[in-house]
A and B are shown apart, each in its own frame.
Chain A
Amino acid sequence: MEKLLTLEIDKRQVRVREGMTVLEAAREADIEIPTLCYHEKLKPYGVCRICSVEVEKEGHVRIVASCGYPVGEGLIIRTHSPRIDRIRKGIIELMAPAVMIDGDVAGEIKKLAEEYGADVHRFESRYRVTPSRCILCGICVRYCDEVAGAHAIGFVGRGIDRRVVFFPEEARACITCGACAELCPVSKIAAETDFVVFDGFTVDDWLTRKS
């Protein structure tokens, strides 16, 4: 028998199974929390921080990533508050320059920017590298790793130089399933399965270079 826990999300009492995350619990109760790096088939990664919520436990409030925070008896969750909205606005503004195309952002990020009143141009003039068009959510990398089992792509570099590439030794392991392209929230990866590109290289490039 699974243990059920009671917690409060946005002033609503919800009963959920132990072992769920706050994000899953909220979604089950039809409470929307925005996410950019979450995918139901993948382990929580917690890097976009857009899903940050306030958790109150024994009177102590902290900000957590709801995608990874486990539910607990008596927790009080606030998915919206001035503090949370300010954080989400800030995160969108900080990530926007990297995904700017023709002077605007697109897709989910545009939607979020409008919802939180984020000025996507706020840091544009100070963003002095070529926009990578990638928010490093890692969905492609993790899907290739955890679901496709190909381990063909990964992160390289550290800090502000982090990026996604084909692993030179593993590129030929790409099964051209196209999932990475399909799941990419900013459509950096072109949708055609035979045109998967990371860091300027396609699988074909690697194969030609190697032969």
Chain B
Amino acid sequence: MSNNRLASPGELEKLRAAILSRRNPNRRVVTVCSGTGCQSYGAKVVFQKFAAKVRSQGLEGKVEVKATGCHGFCEKGVVVIILPEEICYLSVKPDDVSEIVSRTLGKKEIIERLLYTDPNTGKKKAKESDIPFYNNQNRIIFGNNKYIDPKNIEDYISLGGYGALSRALSEMTPEQVLEEVKRANLRGRGGGGFPTGMKWEETRNAPGEPKYVIVNCDEGDPGAYMDRSLMEGNPHSVIEGLVTGAYAIGSHDGFIYVRQEYPLACENVEIALKQAEEYGLMGGNILGLGFNFKVKVHRGAGAFVSGESSALMSAIEGKVGEPGLKYIHTAIQGVKDKPTCLCNVETWANIPFIINRGADWFNSIGTEGNKGTKIFSLVGKVNNTGLVEVPMGMTLKQIIYDIGGGIRDGKKFKGVQTGGPSGGIIPEKYLDTPVDFDQLTKLGSMMGSGGMVVMDEDTCMVDMARYFIEFCCGESCGKCIPCREGLRMLREILTDICQGRGQEGDIEEIEDIAEVMKEASLCALGQTAANPVLTTLKYFREEYEAHINEKRCPAKVCKDLINFYIDPEKCQACIICLKNCPVEAINGGKDLVHWIDQEKCTRCGTCFEVCPPRFSAVIRSSGEPVPPPPPEGTRVVRKKGG
């Protein structure tokens, strides 16, 4: 037996005290966000450079360098925070490291260039808590990420980690734990929003042994990565929640289902489990309190549909991850037909907070029927993309504008897709809607697991609906007829519309198919797969009509419905477009007005993009005839000073 093993709650507290006392209170910590987003910006190199610099300057005793999980502000990676001052440096490059070490760590100077600049006032913000992206959030579940090296259990323990489990096992009966979670009104964060306490109770009361508990980390919505970052950044919080829940439910066997495409999450959770076992927080006789619990990590082979609970359980059994008939809840008959309680990563991560701070505290956050916070993955055409955690009930506008900093490049907001492929696209007039399970469902969308894709005026809603249907065509299991054949037909109809073959009656056809899918599909994926189409039809119907009736794409996106031509008055014959056209469709030459051969043009848009903004001579049009090319040999009218 390892000598790190904690044999009682008292020993856990002793260890906590020892970890804290070992730490030099004057020590400074450089935390380098090493979530997947920042890693793609080179976080590993930044971290290594920091470590090497600190060593070479002999600062080891005074400065600790830490690779942590995701801080959320992925737009501005690599994010580096210097504690205790909480100086927040954004977009840090490996080349900035020497300067940070010598100036900020050495002379306590702040490097202005690396600070956040308020786009409205131009003022610099030194602290993380001064940045609107952060200070409009309420980071409870996600907030500890920046203090924790996910590969080191002692970091988690130093912040009070495993205190909730210790308390539950030593001071509470399973019934009391269950009661606390029920009273907290926590609802499942995976998208369904089913009351977690009720789910636990159903499994607890179901006959049959063993009972299983499962962490669902098969997140697959396009653009969503909340669960991933939580699993990567703070795996112990999920594990602590899971073991606490298992105690309440009466389960001794668990599974953590992580998709294989999340290598860092797989790695960190395996390390975390090993460490938890070493410290006596997992396995037999946890904390010497007689509760046994073991858990297996199941790496999913990456099918979106495997996130559906019965499909996930089927995959755990070694079968193909496909949904089955669920008329008897999986809570009663799940893995190997035994009672199984499956909850999402974020749901489990909420549990330690509820046990530590109590149901009343939890109920003080959020709105009626929707308590606590929710983590959203805010992506798309918004200025500050990243992961945000807000109390339930914050409005879409606050999330997109106050936290997200509004739409990129001064463009106009058009819609926000919430809830992934099962959700819908919400238009501007509903931006004041509070975000929670119930309100977004009323709009025909859903909150889902927290995906939020912001779209600007350059987005074609028909094309977007087609994209989501295409996604489901490949990601549905294909088992039941309404979903499989319904998706196939929706895809064909939407493709026809986008390619200018739309006909009168297509909209009604779509609505008919969507109804059959919704009513008759086997699982929730099929029942909701048409939502992106139905919401865009509801809120952007005129776009469908323009495509069908006028063969016009109002957002000028659908290739078959748009044209590019060059305005002879504006063209300065700079030859840039001519050189860049991949199909040599542009005619003209030095001093000769350029024009596009419509027969050759593939509408790739390169000319439109490369034409210098001061000329803006390339015009993108839809639904109107292209003017004839200028007579051969037309010479350029030079702009003054041009």
Contacts and interface: CB of A to CB of B under 8 A. Distances in A.
Interface of A: 44-49, 52, 63-65, 68-70, 83, 86-87, 90-91, 94-95, 98, 123, 126-128, 135-136, 138, 155, 157-162
B179 interface: no
Interface stretch (B72-80, B214-222, B364-372, B518-526): B518-526
Contacts of B520: 49, 52, 63, 87, 90-91
Contacts of B488: 127, 160
Taking chain B's interface residues, is the majority helix, strand, or loop, or is none over half, making it mixed?
helix
Contacts of A68: 325, 327
Interface of B: 303, 305, 320, 324-325, 327-328, 472-482, 484-489, 491-493, 496, 512-513, 515-516, 519-522
Contacts of B512: 90
Sort A-B residue pairs by CB-CB distance and give the 4 closest, nearest first.
A162-B478, A90-B516, A68-B325, A94-B485
B489 A83 contact: no
Nearest to A89: B516
Contacts of B476: 158-160
B522 A160 contact: no
A159 B475 contact: yes
Given A47-B479, A126-B492, A136-B478, A158 B516 contact: no
Nearest to B485: A94
B477 A123 contact: no
Contacts of B486: 94
B480 A87 contact: no
Given A44-B325, A126-B496, A159-B472, A87 B478 contact: no
Contacts of B482: 49, 87, 90-91, 94
A136 B489 CA distance: 17
Contacts of A48: 480-481
Contacts, number: 106
Given A44-B325, A94-B485, A155-B320, A161 B519 contact: no
Contacts of B324: 46
A122 B603 CA distance: 33
Contacts of B487: 159-160
B495 to A, nearest CB: 9
A157 B478 contact: yes
B262 to A, nearest CB: 20
A201 B95 CA distance: 60
Given A94-B481, A155-B320, A63 B519 contact: yes
13 contacts: A44-B325, A49-B482, A49-B522, A52-B519, A70-B327, A87-B516, A94-B485, A94-B486, A126-B492, A127-B488, A127-B489, A159-B474, A160-B473
B481 A64 contact: no
B510 to A, nearest CB: 12
B481 A49 contact: yes
A162 B325 contact: no
A103 B482 CA distance: 22
A182 to B, nearest CB: 22
